[in-house]
Amino acid sequence: MDFRAFDIEGPLELLPKRIEDDRGYFAEIFRLAPFAERVGAVQFVQENQSLSLCEGTIRGLHFQLYPQAQGKLVRCTAGSVFDVAVDLRHDSPTYGDWISVVLTAESLNQLWIPVGFAHGYCTLEPQSVINYRVTDYYSPGHDRGVAWDDPDIGINWPGIVDRNTLSPKDRVQPAFRELAPIFSSRAE
């Protein structure tokens, strides 16, 4: 497995290697030791899956507050998604910056999004499914977000975005400027 880092410290793309033959392929999707060497000790406690029926569906930008803050390991198991992480660490030199990765079922790649980042995605195909492991349990009382289309963040979303797919929650998320300092780049 290979790892790709970004200009923003923290997120990583995991790129598994395929062994192919006339029957299909085999790929090691996750191995704890090399992952932990790069991100530190993590324990996944919950696994989630989400199906989006339509191309252009937007979900996010979401995060959870301490003490229920979550790191996420995101994978697309059907279709493809434009996956985004936004740095919310107020003392980070990349505060408010974002990275994106196209996750596809075919490529088997994954995106690690550590605590301190908001996460969201846009489906690039109908019937896209993402699966993600998280480091803490979902907690409605700690669930927060920021507007997916906030101009101060300036995410360059794909041209297929369908605003009609936004959930009621995602239609009213606050602006980036309205967020109080939440996360630090120093380990909590």
- Nearest residue to 99 (alpha-carbon basis) of 114, 113, 85, 117: 85
From the list 25, 62, 95, 138, the catalytic residue is: 62
Contacts of 53 by beta carbon, 8 Å cutoff, 6+ apart: 126, 127
Cα–Cα distance between 72 and 46 in angstroms, integer?
10
Known active-site residue 142:
no
For the question of residue 119 being annotated catalytic, the response is no
Whether the Cβ atoms of residue 175 and residue 152 lie closer than 8 Å to each other: yes
Quick check: helix, strand or coil at residue 33?
A: helix
Ramachandran class of 7: left when φ > 0, alpha when ψ lies in -120 to 50, beta otherwise: alpha
Count CB-CB contacts under 10 A for residue 115.
Answer: 21
Pick the catalytic residue: 132, 137, 138, 142?
132
What residues are annotated to the active site?
62, 132
